A and B are shown apart, each in its own frame.
Chain A
Amino acid sequence: MSILINNDTRLLVQGMTGRQGLFHTQLMLEYGTNVVGGITPGKGGQWALDGQVPVFDSMETAVRATEANTSLIFVPAKFAVDCIYEAADAGIRLIVCLTEWIPIKDMISVRHYLDLKGVRLVGPNCPGLITPGESKVGIIAGEIAMPGNIGVVSKSGTLTYETLFALKQVDMGVSTCVGIGGDPISGTNFIDVLRMFEEDDYTEKVVLMGEIGGNAEEEAALFIARHMTKPVVAFIAGQTAPPGRRMGHAGAIVEGGTGTAREKIAALEAAHVKVARHPEEIPGLLRG
């Protein structure tokens, strides 16, 4: 009753024994995520988090031992790309990469390889995913969302939390929330997730949180107009962003006059998507 992650998710955490990795693995375990192992080369054979989670030297041995189907990458940019290839080659079908500042060239090569192999990557530079009540893979705080039938897809982190929390305040729950990240080249785009929400029986309405840069929102608008039967509410961040400047996220930049919030909002409205002026309007637009 969700997309991408659920009770059947068997998760390996790459780079688990670092400070962030341990901290967030503990939170995922407390939330109920089935974390079946961690990978740190040179630490294989140890147990982490008071003996709760076995550590492996490589993805290959870990996948063979645990039958994991999903991996989460908590590794700095210099090493994260190697982790993505290792996960894909070990047979993982869903890779979630939180790492920020991965070079664009590396992502172009990674994405090309994963497309040939049929492996899905979510991220990089994203907060991960949560299917409330079942599983969370990443760093989204578990308590800010409740189970329900609204699908959320977003390029942003805290802005998404803001929306999840606003929905919870008015007793609106979420089927799955997917943070696709704010990099110019991502593993998963809006259309991929919209298609999954459209096909998911449990999801009834969708919230799309976009931002300036690129034309993924415009392409999403075309997809919605042609293929979505479920209502979509959107918000676009960066209406006041100056052109030519990267607004924190590597992909959030208005270049050569394109990628502006105005164009994106116009495209979405043309596809009959209700566009909120600010995130606090989203619950009301979902009701209406």
Chain B
Amino acid sequence: MNLHEYQSKQIFAEYGVPVPQGEVATTPAQARQIAEKLGGKVVIKAQVLTGGRGKAGGVKVANNPAEAEALAGQILGLDIKGHLVKKVLVDPAADIATEIYVSFTNDRGARKPLMMASAAGGMDIEEVARTDPEKIIKIYVDPHLGLHDYQAREMAAAIELPQELWPAFNQIAQGLWHAYWDKDATLAEINPLIITGDGRLVGLDGKMSIDDNAMYRHPELEALRDKDEEVAEENEARKFGLSYIKLDGNIGCMVNGAGLAMTTMDIIKLFGGEPANFLDIGGGAGADKVAAAFRIILSDPNVEAILINIFGGITRCDEVARGILDAMEQVKVTIPLVVRFGGTNADEGRALLEGTKLITAQTLSDAAQKAIQAAKDAKQP
């Protein structure tokens, strides 16, 4: 789960990281009130879970409360890469002398927490990584011992921070480390961390991603979930133990197992078709689960045919065939349906589907080609 900027900065502040004392507004009038309270210049920042807000016109400086109201009016309701702006953060404008990057993340390869910092702050760090990788300094953290003070000092020296700022940087690094570790974050990032004109360090913008697997032990973070930023069908799927991701094609997919589900999408593409979704039905495949999967796939109007690909191991294909037939009593499926069974009791499963309008296939390549053809035929009756 990704947190908004204002949520991330609030958490960082709780861990002792200095951040601007702004507030969130959902209306232009509120933005004006906050600007009046803060006094002076303010920055109005769209709160959406995507990058590139600045370029899309989602971040603007206002000189006075009246301007803050007008600019908030422009930003609220903007569509930024498919995300509708419903909230803006009104922060006091900062006097920026220098911009730094600092973050903690999980390094999959090293299997350790990784601290990264760079003197090239304020930019897209992935871009810096591509063009100037030597500008990013990396330090691994021992998961059992945490970040040592000396590591924070080494980092401060490596990014050429003035010595008088090392103690403040250490406090920020320790705070960010503890926020990352306590909250089960996969990313805790301050970008930019600025040095102000009067020589203070302030976390101007922040980002946090939380490990979905750990949400069960963070009810305080669950309360921050922004339902507007989630796809309704994907949440619906999760309730039934299904994993669903919508794509842009016309061939719906229902598969048991994530790797096989990806492979099924790939093979549709290989034979010239376009998959409409990723859907892993998980272990077992009873009628209720299959029916839920049908409903979710059919909620996408682009779907013109469905390919069901089941490999029977412990779950036998004849059980799944019965599940499919029962599910079709619950959900009316009017588009062509191609079923491919492999593994345990595949022949018995196919036999059960004989005499129905279902199209059966033996191999994965055969199934993909039949589904693509069926979608074409359905279009030109």
Contacts and interface: CB of A to CB of B under 8 A. Distances in A.
Interface of A: 24, 27, 77-78, 101-109, 111-113, 139-141, 143-144, 154-162, 165, 182, 184-185, 209, 211-212, 214-216, 219, 235, 237-242, 245-252, 256-257, 261, 277-280
Nearest to A162: B311
A158 B311 CA distance: 6
B278 A248 contact: yes
B266 interface: yes
Contact of A156 (B258, B266, B312): B258
Max count, chain A CB within 10 A of own CB: residue among B143, B269, B363, B365? B143
A157 B270 contact: no
B258 A278 contact: no
Max count, chain A CB within 10 A of own CB: residue among B213, B259, B311? B259
Contacts of A278: 263, 266-267, 270, 364-365
Contact of B184 (A103, A143, A212): A103
A184 B108 CA distance: 6
Nearest to B366: A280
A250 B342 contact: no
A111 B111 contact: yes
Q: Which 7 A-B pairs have the closest CB atoms?
A: A156-B259, A248-B258, A158-B257, A159-B259, A103-B214, A141-B313, A237-B262
Nearest to B278: A247
13 contacts: A27-B314, A101-B213, A103-B184, A104-B213, A139-B314, A158-B311, A162-B263, A235-B263, A237-B266, A248-B262, A250-B212, A252-B258, A256-B129
B270 A211 contact: no
B82 to A, nearest CB: 12
A113 B143 CA distance: 10
Q: How large is the interface on B (under 10, 10 to 19, 20 to 34, 35 or more residues)?
A: 35 or more
Contact of A219 (B109, B213, B217, B270): B109
Contacts of B330: none
Given A105-B211, A252-B258, A252-B262, A239 B111 contact: no
A156 B257 contact: yes
Interface in B228-246: 243, 245
B113 interface: yes
Max count, chain A CB within 10 A of own CB: residue among B109, B112, B113, B269? B109
A78 to B, nearest CB: 7
A104 B262 contact: no
Max count, chain A CB within 10 A of own CB: residue among B243, B258, B344? B258
B280 A108 contact: no
A141 B260 CA distance: 16
Nearest to B316: A141
Contact of A108 (B112, B255, B263, B364): B112
Contacts of A280: 363-365
Given A103-B217, A237-B263, A242-B245, 6 more contacts: A140-B313, A159-B259, A185-B108, A239-B269, A240-B262, A249-B259
Interface string B97-122: 00000000010110111000000000
A256 B187 CA distance: 13
